[in-house]
Amino acid sequence: MEFARKVLCIGAGYVGGPTMAVIASKCPEVKVVVADINAKRIADWQTDNLPIYEPGLEAVVKTAIGRNLFFTTDVASAIAEADIIFVSVNTPTKTFGIGAGKASDLQYWEKTARQIRECSHSDKIVVEKSTLPVRTAEAMERILNANAEHVHFDVLSNPEFLAEGTAIQDLLNPDRVLIGGPETARGRAAVEEVVSLYAHWVPRERILTTNVWSSELSKLTANAFLAQRISSINSIAALCEETGANVEEVAHAIGMDKRIGPKFLHASIGFGGSCFQKDILNLVYLCEHFGLPEVAAYWEQVVSMNAHQRTRFVSNMISKMFNTIVGKRIALFGFAFKADTGDTRETPALYVARELIEERAHVVVTDPKALDNARRDLADLPQDLITYESDPYKAAESAHAVAIMTEWKLYKELDYSRIYASMEKPAFLFDGRNILDVDALYDIGFSVYPIGRPGKSRL
């Protein structure tokens, strides 16, 4: 079949995979190829057992795979035939050299840019989908257009705002699509090409076009603001615990103010996920780089507060459990960084598990989707102190405490009388997500400690 347009995405991860599946399903006349150097990932995308768990994803992939959606490891040939190339390779926080711990590690991005240049024999539009520091597109344009005699590259920014667990809904019905491009005739034409893809299903008024830097910076800023709300409410949760106020009531009261709004005000053990911390640190690094140390310090505090919240949670567990947890079995309910995903990147559960193991507790990890990732994440720790168990009832057997790490619906619906009966006494329940009914659990016999709300102790 002849396709009107050929789109390629390099990077078949959490962002690239679902985004391209939706583009392919909505634009049947466009050929969409997803390429990745990871052969297993590419193979898995073509089975019933997709490499990532995302509600609704399988159905979308099925509508298009083999029709106009294809997966390959042959990145070079895919580049050669593409008109528009989205790049969504990972851009982790640098672990070495200048900017270590804050700046983005751009090595995969640059390597990909060079490969695009080598394999291109016709003009291409290159779209940064990965979240990148401001002005990366400009640098990439220089790399791409250096030595490229007969070929021209237009580099655009089209950041992704999807959240894991709701990725398909977010893609099908986005609040906005943002496309940044150079303010030249060529640049504007390139932007229009990408606009026309999204316009298959997104109303025009929700497709914003800006200059490249605004687009890049908007992504970092959106994530920084969202994370800031969580750190803000978590800081108030700490104060609630001291004063007897209830953080849920405070969040509800302030959220009714239209200027504040109700979303992203759930107190928790802290935010996780691959983006928030990485993007804020990236913003901090940029501010430092541009000589704005006060601005950098302001945003860095959002990350520090998040770390403090996790540590506070563990300290509270230890102090409630008579100041020692050596040898005590503690069941962690959930390991994913939030519900409805198997993703464990930067999950607060990982930090909590590590701190508990440092205190020589025995940690039992259970999660409906993230156990394989948990095994990998905790591989460097003494395995005699860790048990992985898919059944939450078994995980809680003989445990001194259960701690809710992820707000899986399943954990709200468990038979806590049965769990209580199988646990060591006194039985502790630490609710790091505020999803359980404190009074009902107390009546069963637990000592219950939620976040930012009065707990109920039987001791």
Catalytic residue set = 275
The residue (of 280 and 423) whose beta carbon lies closer to ligand UDX is: 280
From candidates 14, 71, 86, 313, binder to ligand UDX by CB under 6 A: 14
- Per rule CB under 6 A, is residue 15 in the interface with ligand UDX? yes
- Secondary structure (DSSP) of 76-127: HHHHHH-SEEEE----PBP-SSTTTTTSB--HHHHHHHHHHHHH-SS-EEEE
Q: Are strands 362-366 and 329-333 parallel, antiparallel or unpaired?
A: parallel
CB 427 within 8 A of CB 457: no
Q: Which residues contact 102 (CB under 8 A, 6 or more apart)?
A: 93, 94, 281, 282, 284, 285, 288
Residues between 36 and 65 with contacts to ligand UDX, criterion CB under 6 A: 36-38, 41
The residue (of 111 and 425) whose beta carbon lies closer to ligand UDX is: 111
CB 280 within 8 A of CB 300: yes
Q: What H or E segment, with its residue span, contains residue 237?
A: helix 212-243
- Per rule CB under 6 A, is residue 405 in the interface with ligand UDX? no
Residues between 137 and 166 with contacts to ligand UDX, criterion CB under 6 A: 160-164
Span near ligand UDX by CB under 6 A; candidates 263-271, 314-322, 386-394, 414-422: 263-271
- Per rule CB under 6 A, is residue 218 in the interface with ligand UDX? no
CB of 386 to ligand UDX, least distance (A): 22
The residue (of 160 and 300) whose beta carbon lies closer to ligand UDX is: 160
Question: Of all residues in this chain, which one has the CB nearest to ligand UDX in the complex?
Answer: 13
- Per rule CB under 6 A, is residue 352 in the interface with ligand UDX? no
From candidates 108, 388, 393, 420, binder to ligand UDX by CB under 6 A: 108
- Secondary structure (DSSP) of 126-164: EEE-S---TTHHHHHHHHHHTT-SS--EEEEE------T
- Per rule CB under 6 A, is residue 136 in the interface with ligand UDX? no
Q: Which residues, in sequence order, are bridge partners of residue 401?
A: 330, 428
Q: Which two tokens stand for residue 153?
A: 């590259």
| Torsion angles phi and psi, residue 267, rounded to 5 | -65, 145
Cα–Cα distance between 264 and 230 in angstroms, integer?
Answer: 6
From candidates 106, 226, 395, 403, binder to ligand UDX by CB under 6 A: 226
| Torsion angles phi and psi, residue 394, rounded to 5 | -70, -40
Binding mask 79-98 for ligand UDX (x = CB under 6 A): ---------xxxx-------
Q: Which residues contact 323 (CB under 8 A, 6 or more apart)?
A: none
Span near ligand UDX by CB under 6 A; candidates 34-42, 145-153, 186-194, 435-443: 34-42
From candidates 3, 264, 388, 420, binder to ligand UDX by CB under 6 A: 264
- Per rule CB under 6 A, is residue 112 in the interface with ligand UDX? yes
Lay out the sheet containing 207-210: strands in order across: 69-72, 30-35, 5-10, 84-87, 124-128, 153-157, 177-180, 207-210
| Count, residues near ligand UDX per rule CB under 6 A | 41
Cα–Cα distance between 4 and 422 in angstroms, integer?
Answer: 62
Span near ligand UDX by CB under 6 A; candidates 185-193, 242-250, 264-272, 365-373: 264-272
The distance in angstroms from the start CA to the end CA of the chain is 72
- Per rule CB under 6 A, is residue 13 in the interface with ligand UDX? yes
The residue (of 209 and 344) whose beta carbon lies closer to ligand UDX is: 344
- Per rule CB under 6 A, is residue 105 in the interface with ligand UDX? no
Binding site for ligand UDX (CB under 6 A): 10-16, 36-38, 41, 88-91, 108, 111-112, 129-131, 160-164, 223, 226, 230, 264-266, 268, 271-276, 337-338
